[in-house]
Amino acid sequence: MGSQRIQAVLDAAVAEGIAPGLTAAVARADGSDEVYAAGVRGIADATPMDPDTVFWIASCTKAITSAAALQLVERGVLDLDAPLGDRLPALAAPRVLDGVDGDGKPRLRPARRPITLRALLTHTSGMAYDFCNADMAAYFAATGESIVTPGAPLAFDPGEGWQYGTGIDAAGWVIEAATGQGLDAYLAEHIFGPLGMADTGFAPGPDRRAGLHARGSDGVFAPLDPFAQPQLLWGGGGLSSTARDYLKFLRAVVGDGAGVLGPQTLTLLRDNQTGAMPAGELISANAAFSSDFRPLPGVDKRWTLGFLRNEGDVAGARRAGSLAWGGIANCYYWVDPASGVAGLVFAQFLPFADPGMLGVFEAFERAVYAP
């Protein structure tokens, strides 16, 4: 009955035009896995969605890169609180953006403290995305730089706020500097291979891919062609995966680490690392890319060294201490260690935080927990 209820949520989402197609997966406390699909790969591809359809998972990449960095912390290769300038020259002398003058000239000053791995993983480094930071968007417009420009300025001094941004991309650079491996090679050896995630990587082939779409203001989907698959080793957003594969990573997080994530890594991934500092809300500065994102309204939220964490129970759904996040193309997941449950829903369209898609994610989660 539970599986029928879950499938009905996905089928209704497609019938109502919320997405051309979806996949979803659930890890249960009894060790069983469930994988679902509905609709088609895209408006230009009538191939039915299936559990092995490949999605650009975008910022769902961040938790994997964070876990990889914490493996190195647990092994003593990296220090969470050491300044990173010696390993990454681009971070050696960070600057802070103090605003943009009326004539478009940015005001910059030296940061008051160095950037650390802890700051990168908690999104407290000041490294910011322009799509959810208007000051940074103005800076890039004025200078022609972008979020991938080495040494781009910070939105604030490290440790003085929470701002979603490119810190996990920088964490990927730290992994490469510390190991001498490309991020793709490190993840393949230390996470994807051991967990059996054969369909996860930075450069998947064209077969089995869901099409990426943009939803216009009229609600109509248009294909984004060619497929906007990042070719850079972006630790913050470059991976593609399947619902079946990504669930293997979530099961390692919700359980005992599956021999891949050690006890210290699991603790750091699960526990609040931002103290009393709220986290997790995004105010859009680019409506075509993302709507405002305010997950779990009314629930206190903090950040671990890999995830958004809710500090209170959600009635009829995840328990306190659950972990969650998503990807810009409307991919979402949660991990509930207290209940031993994890789940995900993947779609493939912009803008992020689509209200209809967030409603599907909530309905899916409630269907998973329903008796």
Residues designated as active site? 59, 62, 164
Of 310, 273, 301, whose CA–CA distance to 159 is shortest?
273
Q: Alpha-carbon distance 28 to 340, whole Å? A: 6
Tell me the angle at which helices 243-254 and 61-74 cross, rounded to the nearest 10 degrees.
40
List, in sequence order, every beta strand (DSSP E) within 166-310: 213-215, 221-223, 240-241, 301-303, 308-310
Q: What are φ and ψ of residue 59, in 5° steps?
A: -75, -5
Q: Alpha-carbon distance 70 to 75, whole Å? A: 8
C-alpha angle 303-305-308 in degrees, rounded to nearest 5: 30
Of 277, 350, 285, whose CA–CA distance to 309 is shortest?
277
Q: Alpha-carbon distance 224 to 212, whole Å? A: 6
Q: Alpha-carbon distance 306 to 64, whole Å? A: 8
Our CA dihedral for 350, 352, 353, 358, rounded to 10 degrees, sits at 60
The secondary structure element, H or E, covering residue 269 is helix 263-270
List, in sequence order, every residue forming a beta bridge with 209; answer none if it has no partner: 54
